[in-house]
C-alpha cells in the first residue's frame, strides 16, 4: 500500500491538521496497538477530510462526522477489529448528536457489501482520494450513514463487546504482547 505523498519514515509523517481535532480510537492487545481509526466531527461537510468529494446536491443539515484512516495490523485482520472501530465511531457520533456519518474507501465489491450491511450507502461519484499527506490511485467512493433509531447506542455497544471478546480469543495465540 503506497498511499503516502512523500516517502514515509514513520507514522508521524502521515499526520495532518485533522489529527488535532479528531477523536482517535484504537484496539490494544496488552500494550500493542492492533487497530486504529479517527473520527472527525464538523459543522459542515466542507470541513471534513472528504469534504471536496461531496456531491453539490447533498442536502444534509446539521453537524456531520467522518470515519478516517482506519488501519488494522496485518496480524489482526479478519477478526472484526475494523468493524468494532466503525461501531465505536457510530456510537460516538450519535452520542454527540450527529446523525450523518461518512466514510471514503477504496471501491471494492467486498467493502461496499460490508458497508451496505452496516447501513452505509454510496453518494456522489467515484473519485481519487487525496488529502494533505496521502494520495490514493485506486478509485474511491464516499458512503453515508444516517442514524436510524432502531439501532440504539446500547445495541451498538452490545454488538461491539461481542466482536471484541471473540477477537480476543482468536488473537491470543497469534499476537505476542
Ligand atoms: C480494510 C481493513 C481496515 C479491514 O480491517 P479488518 O479488521 O480486517 O476488517 P474486519 O475483520 O472488521 O472486516 C470488516 C470488513 O472489512 C473489509 N475488509 C477486510 N479486509 C479487507 C481487505 N484486505 N481489503 C479490503 N477490505 C477488507 C471487508 O469488507 C470485511 O467484511 P467481510 O469479511 O464481511 O467482507 C484492513 O484490511 C486494513 O487495515 N487495510 C489497509 C488499510 C485500509 O484499506 N484502510 C481502509 C481505509 S477506510
Give 39-76 as a DSSP string: EEEESSGGGSTTGGGS-TT----S-EEEEEEEEE-GGG
In a domain, 13, yes or no: no
Q: What is the pLDDT of residue 64?
A: 97
In a domain, 146, yes or no: yes
In a domain, 34, yes or no: yes
Distance 94 CA to ligand 1 centre (A): 23
Positive or negative: CA dihedral 151, 155, 161, 167: negative
In a domain, 1, yes or no: no
Judged by DSSP in three states, 33 sits in strand
Q: What is the pLDDT of residue 120?
A: 97
Q: What is the pLDDT of residue 151?
A: 80
- Residue 113: which domain range? 19-170
In a domain, 31, yes or no: yes
Could you tell me if the CB of 83 is within 6 A of ligand 1?
Answer: yes
Statement: residue 136 has pLDDT above 60: yes
CATH classification at residue 120? 3.40.630.30
| Residue whose CA is at the smallest distance from ligand 1 atom 4 | 82
Mean pLDDT of 10-29: 90
Distance 138 CA to ligand 1 centre (A): 15
Could you tell me if the CB of 123 is within 6 A of ligand 1?
Answer: no
Radius of gyration of the chain (CA): 16
In a domain, 4, yes or no: no
Higher pLDDT, 121 or 57: 121
Q: What grid cell was written down for 57? A: 446536491
| Residue whose CA is at the smallest distance from ligand 1 atom 15 | 114
In a domain, 7, yes or no: no
Q: What grid cell was written down for 84? A: 468494532
Could you tell me if the CB of 2 is within 6 A of ligand 1?
Answer: no
Could you tell me if the CB of 166 is within 6 A of ligand 1?
Answer: no
| Residue whose CA is at the smallest distance from ligand 1 atom 28 | 111
Could you tell me if the CB of 37 is within 6 A of ligand 1?
Answer: no
Tally of domains within the chain: 1
Range from 3-12, 29-38, 105-114, 142-151 carrying the lowest mean pLDDT: 3-12
Which residues pair with residue 32 across a beta bridge?
29
DSSP state of 138: S
Cα separations (Å) of 176 from 30, 49, 62, 64, 73? Answer: 9, 34, 44, 38, 13
Task: For the chain, give the number of residues.
Answer: 177
Q: What is the pLDDT of residue 9?
A: 61
Mean of pLDDT over the chain = 91
Could you tell me if the CB of 120 is within 6 A of ligand 1?
Answer: no
Residue 119 CB burial class (10 angstroms; 0-12, 13-18, ≥19): middle
What percentage of the chain exceeds 70 in pLDDT? 94
Asked if 171 and 156 count as a contact pair (C-beta separation under 8 A), the reply is no
Q: What's the rounded Cα separation, in Å, for the pair 118 and 37?
A: 17
Q: Which pTM was predicted?
A: 0.92
What's the start-to-end Cα distance of the chain, in Å?
25
In a domain, 73, yes or no: yes
Nearest-atom index, ligand 1, CA of 163: 12
Amino acid at each position: 500500500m503506497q498511499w503516502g505523498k512523500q516517502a514515509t519514515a514513520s507514522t508521524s509523517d502521515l499526520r495532518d491538521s485533522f489529527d488535532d481535532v479528531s477523536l482517535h480510537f484504537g484496539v490494544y492487545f496488552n500494550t500493542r496497538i492492533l487497530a486504529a481509526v479517527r473520527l472527525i466531527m464538523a459543522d459542515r461537510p466542507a470541513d471534513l477530510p472528504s469534504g471536496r468529494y461531496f456531491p453539490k446536491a447533498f442536502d444534509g443539515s446539521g453537524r456531520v462526522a467522518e470515519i478516517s484512516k482506519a488501519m488494522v495490523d496485518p496480524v489482526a485482520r479478519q477478526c472484526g477489529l475494523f468493524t468494532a472501530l466503525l461501531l465505536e465511531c457510530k456510537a460516538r457520533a450519535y452520542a454527540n448528536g450527529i446523525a450523518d456519518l461518512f466514510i471514503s474507501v477504496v471501491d471494492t465489491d467486498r467493502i461496499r457489501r460490508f458497508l451496505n450491511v452496516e447501513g452505509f450507502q454510496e453518494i456522489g461519484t467515484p473519485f481519487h482520494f487525496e488529502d494533505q499527506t496521502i494520495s490514493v490511485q485506486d478509485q474511491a467512493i464516499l458512503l453515508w450513514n444516517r442514524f436510524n433509531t432502531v439501532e440504539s447506542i446500547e445495541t451498538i455497544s452490545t454488538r461491539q463487546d461481542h466482536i471484541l471478546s471473540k477477537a480476543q480469543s482468536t488473537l491470543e495465540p497469534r499476537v505476542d504482547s
